[in-house]
Structure 1
Amino acid sequence: MRFYLCAFIAGFLIFSSTVSAAMTSTNFEIPFDSINSGGTDNSTSTNFLLYDTLGEQATGYTTSTNYTVQAGYRQTEFFEPTLSFSISAQENDTQTPYTALSKSPTTVTVSSVANFSVGQYIGVVENLGFSQNFIVGRITEINGLILTVDKWDGMVSAISITPAGGDDYVYRMEDNNADFGQLDVNLGKTAIVRTNISTNAASGYTLRVQTDDYLRASPSAHINNVSDGSVTLGSEEYGAQVYGYTATSTGFDFAATSTLRDIQISTTTADNDRIGMLYKISITPVTPAGAYTQTIRYLLTANF
């Protein structure tokens, strides 16, 4: 039987509202005010622009569990809420063996650089399969057969610097489809996905995942979701696990369902926060043949 499975990835960004105090009347509005000893709203020259305010007390940026205070005349004028998010999956047809890995500096030596370019994301997989270790990074330099990345995220402490050989690969990660390819009852399949989040939200962000339905070929033919915390070879099961410093729901394989699940959380500002997500699937001889698909949605919210 031949199976072609893919998961389509969509990202959603939600900004929470910001509340500020203002004085208004029928014809006028003062969005912010303060009592100062001097200053100029703006001063300009050929090459510079200056906004200055003198004599304010207790200015700055303060937060608590439920509130944020931007104290001072200039605070609300210049605070621009930002939130950026990207996500992508491994491209199986770029599978390239590697011979050496370094965690510091962050490099990997590959057999060929034909599939890779500066600015692209890559995934390094050791011992391909259900027990694999993997890390992800973004290429900043290519020198000969050495790829340098900005940093490693994922299973950084678990992966070896010397590959065991035979089933250790680097993949380009620029695809919107997580493709398992052709499945085999004797061989479990995996696919890795990476996230990247940046925000100036002082209270951080939460990334959640949900699906439209089962991984399915038809309404009556679907792959069972993992229910015991581990996708096991020889059982019909499908699930995922997340790895990384800001990953949550860690330590077990969970079912990807229509119920929102937290997978990445930060309680402070973020600059290229990443996690790696490992999807796993196993089938049995009685699993119906077909082309199985599923839509996976990632929902990112930030607190400003």
Structure 2
Amino acid sequence: MVLSEPVSDERGLAPGLADPAPVVVENLCAQFVFDGDSLLRLGQVNKFWHGVVSDVALWERLNAARFDVSAISSAQVPAQPATAIPGWCFFAGLDSGGDDCATPEDAKGNLRPSDLAARADQLGAIAFNTRGWIKDRLQAKSCWKRHSYVPGVGLYVRESAVARVLGVPLPAPLPEKADPQVRPPDFPGWVFYHLVDSPGGDIRHPANGDNDFTSTCSTLEELAEVAARLPSCLAFNTSGSLKHRLQPQVHWRQDSGTCSWGGLYVREDAAGANKLRRPTGGEGKGITGFCIEAST
């Protein structure tokens, strides 16, 4: 952590901001729990704030709050794995670009697959993805792109069209019911940090130069296997990126999406070598200084 000297003094500050009450300091700093750069800039305001931000204990408390699982927003819902819809089959994580005959806006917020299937039937469409795009044509399967490893995200295609249009076998049948999944699975040798990511440091795919490996890893399990075989890989995330470098934890970013299924896996030895704070598993509510509610 490198701090420059404060660039201003107390003149011109509103009454009380030059030397605020401790509770004000705590609450204000908590607002920057996921924005270390802004907190460092706060330290340039005057000598008082420079002293606050120079306190190592502050950063320890912020990280304690940051990696408490209670930080997960109530708006982030578990992933719902795909289930069977009569007459349709499912290609997990994939999508065929373009050829849309209806948009998510047409669904008016209702993206339940069974209702999208009913809408596709009305339109005589051949496929729909779980983001709400309904399609009257499909590209060749070799042109499809993988967009996600999240359970339940993907493309539904009419069973009658799979062999006739795509010329490929039917994918495995889906279950009638499936339990929601709050988070991805654990992998031996890796520490999982829920709903955060370390920006940058991505390993480029050797075959195509992409910043992720979704083109060749069809599942998160396959991605974990590739990551384990690469000595230079220190971490990988659920978006498909492998990382050769990690940012300090205070610069990690929180996932602001609506789904709780996601996060960052860090190699066990890399977590130790970088002195990373381990996930608290929910016991962080009693940590002195910051409760997670103060950061929202």
Q: Please say whether Structure 1 and Structure 2 have the same fold, judged by a TM-score greater than 0.5.
A: no
TM-score, scaled relative to structure 1 = 0.24
Whose helix fraction is larger, Structure 1's or Structure 2's?
Answer: 2
TM-score (normalised: structure 2): 0.25
Q: Which structure carries more strand by proportion?
A: 1
